Amino acid sequence: MQNQSLPPVRVRVFISGLVQGVGYRYSTRERAKNLGLTGWVRNLPDGRVEAVFEGDKTTVESVIDWCRRGPMGAEVSDVTWEYEEPQGDRTFEIRR
């Protein structure tokens, strides 16, 4: 019997707090790449960071947990997310 993998999930995450100017996007990209996730991350004009992660559900949930802490120097006050239809992203990038 073949091991059938579960379909990927996609989640859009909004991170609030002191999350710009502290390397949050770069750390997020490295964390996502190391976990084998695809998607993107960017700063928003209102001071939040927005990220989209796509991959298996367990790994996506683990990166959401990481987003609650972020990199050293970040002070995360809130994290919200919503699930979306997977888009089949192939890489993880920082968007401007």
Q: Which residues are catalytic?
A: 25, 43
23 in Cβ contact with 94 (< 8 Å): no
Give the whole-angstrom CA distance, residue 68 versus residue 70: 6
Which residues have a Cβ under 8 Å from the Cβ of 53 and sit 6 or more positions away?
10, 11, 13, 32, 37, 38, 39, 60, 63, 64
15 in Cβ contact with 76 (< 8 Å): yes
